[in-house]
Amino acid sequence: MKDKGDLNMQSKKEKRTALMQKLSPIFRCPKCGEELWVDEGSRLKCIRSHSFDLARQGHVHLTKKPAVSNYSSELFAARREVIEGGLYEKMHEALGELLDWEGKTILDAGSGEGSHLMALKKKKDFTGIGTDLAKSGIEMAAKGEDELLWVVADLAEAPFLDSSFDTVLNIFSPANYEEFHRITKNGGAVLKVVPGSRYLQELRKLAGESAYSNEDVVEGFYRQFPEAESIKVSFTAAVPENLRLPLLKMTPLTWKHTDDKDFQEKARSIKEITIDVLILKGRIQKQHRSQSGADPS
Ligand SMILES: [Zn+2]
Q: What is the pLDDT of residues 154-174, one digit of tens each?
A: 999 999 999 999 999 999 999
- What percentage of the chain carries pLDDT values higher than 70? 92
Q: What is the pLDDT of residues 68-102, one digit of tens each?
A: 766 678 889 999 999 999 999 999 999 999 999 99
Torsion of CA 44, 46, 51, 52, to 10 degrees: -40
What whole-number distance in Å separates Cα of residue 120 and Cα of residue 239? 21
Q: How many angstroms separate the alpha carbon of residue 44 from the centre of ligand 1?
A: 10
Q: How many angstroms separate the alpha carbon of residue 60 from the centre of ligand 1?
A: 15
Q: How many angstroms separate the alpha carbon of residue 243 from the centre of ligand 1?
A: 44
Q: How many angstroms separate the alpha carbon of residue 17 from the centre of ligand 1?
A: 19
Structure-model confidence comparison of residues 290 and 279, the more confident one: 279
> Phi-psi region for residue 75, left (φ > 0), alpha (ψ -120 to 50) or beta?
alpha
What pLDDT was estimated at residue 10? Answer: 60
Q: How many angstroms separate the alpha carbon of residue 52 from the centre of ligand 1?
A: 10
Q: Is the pLDDT of residue 295 over 50?
A: no
Structure-model confidence comparison of residues 190 and 65, the more confident one: 190
Q: What is the pLDDT of residues 192-203, one digit of tens each?
A: 999 999 999 999
Q: How many angstroms separate the alpha carbon of residue 51 from the centre of ligand 1?
A: 7
What whole-number distance in Å separates Cα of residue 16 and Cα of residue 3? 20
What pLDDT was estimated at residue 57? Answer: 82
What pLDDT was estimated at residue 11? Answer: 76
Give SS3 for 216. helix
Q: How many angstroms separate the alpha carbon of residue 222 from the centre of ligand 1?
A: 35
Q: Which band of pLDDT confidence, cut at 50, 70 and 90, is reported for residue 9?
A: low
Q: Output the CATH code of domain 60-286.
A: 3.40.50.150
The reply to whether 113 sits in an annotated binding site is yes
Q: Which band of pLDDT confidence, cut at 50, 70 and 90, is reported for residue 12?
A: confident
Q: Is the pLDDT of residue 146 over 80?
A: no
The reply to whether 177 sits in an annotated binding site is no
